[in-house]
Structure 1
Amino acid sequence: MTTSTQSNHSDQRKQSDPATSGQDDIILDIRHLKKYYPVYKGFLKKVVGHVKAVDDVSLFVRKGETLGLVGESGCGKTTLGKTIVRLHQPTAGELRYRFEDGGMRDILKLNREESFQIRKKIQIVFQDPYSSLNPVKTIYESFDEPLRKHNMGNRAERKAIISRLLESVNLRPEYMYRYPNEFSGGQRQRICIARALCINPDVIVCDEPVSALDVSIQAQVLNLMKDLQQELKLTYIFIAHDLSVVEYMSDRIAVMYLGQVVELAESGALYQTPQHPYTEALLSAVPTPDLNKKKDRIVLKGDVPSPVNPPGGCRFHTRCHLCQDRCRTEIPALRKVKGTDDHFVACHLAETEDAI
């Protein structure tokens, strides 16, 4: 790609960036976020490349909504979630959070004390409830530690908080004195949800919170999460493989492929009128309960390219059945779809407002 082409692409991305919408209800504004992992080789551990797990992602999350993140394994959605809660330090970009005074500040530039305080606002629920709880600590000890760290009451007050949280996820208060091995998988995940709530967060990153549970338990946990969201005015970033679950939970959905967002839209619009070939392929794989209704399955050929050396142009072009010469050389910017207010796509074949 020539220097002029790169400059034009940069200008387009800046102009059409969905994170620059400037809406007052935005609580989290992610701008050009990157997370690269070095690749070492040889006896001297020389850096020979980088795994581009998250590569220039821009998103915004509105207060009180659920933003879904979907994509194949290895697309970077879990890395993005962990980077948002600062379990991974970003390589570049901004994480702007709306504070109580209404101002937006980049939490990556906060000092040590401010960073500690912001951890109260953004929490995470992990995928595996069996490894999320310390097996040698009682539930009380697992809850009490973050409450003490953030000076949330004396011992009696903290115990009352833990009792109330367990009741909020339909567990008995006396369960706080039990160990994790005494609970089922569904009960453990409810405990993990309660623990994420114990320091009153505003945003919770849910990293495939029901994928390790039986189908019969998944619906209970999802409905519980919806009830808690409405009651406590929570904001969710919901990561999952199951597109049916994401549709049920999410207000808007971002589709990721090889570290980048390729489509972002309201849930209904994404499922009814997908604009990116990758999104169409994912949706074609969702089973339908109607046996008489047949779907035209789009089968993606080949494997996902390596994030160490992603293909030039559109990263999906090596598997896209609609690929054209332009797709192999020009990087598509994430642009607004014509005639829509909140539907963005990174595809040369889609009709967008600022297409070349």
Structure 2
Amino acid sequence: MSEKKEVIFKVENLRTWFPITKGAFKKVVGHVKAVDDVSLEIYRGETLGIVGESGCGKSTLGKTLMMLEKATGGKVLFNYDGEFRDITQFNSKEMFDFRKKVQMVFQDPYSALNPQKKIYTSFEDPLKVHGIHSEAEREAIMQKVLKMVNIQPDYLMRYPHEFSGGQRQRLCIARALEVMPEVLICDEPVSALDVSIQAQVLNLMKEIQAELNLTYLFIAHDLSVVQYMSDRIVVMYLGKIVEVADSRALYDEPLHPYTKALLSAIPVPDIHKTKKRQVLEGEVPSPIHKPSGCAFHNRCPNCMEICKQQDPALLVQNQSNGHMVACHLYTQTKQG
């Protein structure tokens, strides 16, 4: 249990702001603060779940780690054999090499595959780009990754519209695995699928992770799915992290009022059992004009005066499991 975990991604004070422009000269009049001062670590071989309401910045965080969105500030450090390098400073050649190490599975399998190309071409092109010039070697890799996701090799000659949603998502996972990445960033990979198909894809992802020792960043809004998949969970609200804990601790003993409200919304499968729902009042503030102090204070049932004035720091509350929360309820308790 005392085994030291190896950090593969280290994010320090990351900001991803989108400028708002006005007029013919595109004068910047404000920013959408999608990711605002986020710091976290991702351990090799784990599944780190990212949850929160729509618009909280979780997808933007995932895309920024892939450099599909340009970071406004902060650092994204990746572990290159023990040496951490800031990928926000990479040139095009370094970024090309980084792409082999980190791949992404997108939310919509329907738009992730080119409808005008056969699956064979969609799979072959990335291998050509990454220097696999032998046709026999490319075909061997394609056969291998298709076998991992339980797709028949002869399906390569079909077009995307000939597959079901679950099959398309499995194809997208297989294509991401072609370059044998170390990290897979999964942006709501099962939200577009039927519930029965979701279970198949999630179990498949767990099997592949165990076989290849992959690290997953698993972004989702379905809290039951995140609980099933994740070792640790990060809760985001309006571009910031409000709570970090291992999966069991978060579901058994949530600390932040926002986390408690999210968990109370999970449906109970037994119709004879009732669950007390914590309904959040008020509107989600704009990421353009965030409120002073804690961004959650206008919806929080436990709001204090300090919450309106001072943004709480993300602090460790339980040293044994690393449970962290950004809430004045706990900083006030400790000071008292």
Distance 1:266 1:174, change over 3 A: same
Say yes or no: does 1:140 pair with 2:120.
yes
Determine the structure 2 residue equivalent to 1:70: 51
Determine the structure 2 residue equivalent to 1:349: 329
Match of 1:130 among 110, 125, 135: 110
Determine the structure 2 residue equivalent to 1:256: 236
AA of the residue aligned to 1:41: K
| Aligned residue pairs, count | 333
Q: CA separation in 2, counterparts of 1:340 and 1:301?
A: 34
Which 10-residue stretch deviates more, 301-310 or 336-345? 336-345
Say yes or no: does 1:332 pair with 2:304.
no
1:47: how far off? 1.1
Instruction: Note the aligned Cα RMSD (angstroms).
Output: 1.5
Q: CA separation in 1, counterparts of 2:335 and 2:123?
A: 51
Determine the structure 2 residue equivalent to 1:81: 62
Partners of 1:336 and 1:342 within 8 A in 2:
yes
Q: Give 3-state SS (helix, strand or coil) of 2:111's partner.
A: coil
Q: Give 3-state SS (helix, strand or coil) of 2:104's partner.
A: strand
1:295: how far off? 1.6
Determine the structure 1 residue equivalent to 2:215: 235
Match of 1:270 among 240, 247, 250: 250
AA of the residue aligned to 1:210: V
Q: What is the aligned-residue identity percentage? A: 59
Partners of 1:276 and 1:350 within 8 A in 2:
no
Determine the structure 1 residue equivalent to 2:277: 297
1:290: how far off? 2.7
Match of 1:58 among 22, 35, 39: 39
Q: What's the TM-score once normalised by structure 1's chain length?
A: 0.91
Q: Give 3-state SS (helix, strand or coil) of 1:317's partner.
A: coil
Distance 1:91 1:354, change over 3 A: farther
For structure 2, the residue ranges without an aligned partner over 5 or more in a row are none
1:44: how far off? 3.1
Q: CA separation in 2, counterparts of 1:125 and 1:245?
A: 16
Match of 1:41 among 4, 10, 22: 22
Q: Give 3-state SS (helix, strand or coil) of 1:79's partner.
A: helix
Q: CA separation in 1, counterparts of 2:245 and 2:5?
A: 19
Partners of 2:245 and 2:321 within 8 A in 1:
no
Partner deviation per Cα, 1:221-243 (whole Å, 9 max, x = no partner):
00000000000110000000100
Partners of 2:246 and 2:321 within 8 A in 1:
no
1:153: how far off? 4.6
Say yes or no: does 1:92 pair with 2:34.
no
Partners of 1:317 and 1:327 within 8 A in 2:
yes
Q: CA separation in 2, counterparts of 1:355 and 1:172?
A: 61
Determine the structure 2 residue equivalent to 1:8: none
Q: CA separation in 2, counterparts of 1:293 and 1:25?
A: 42
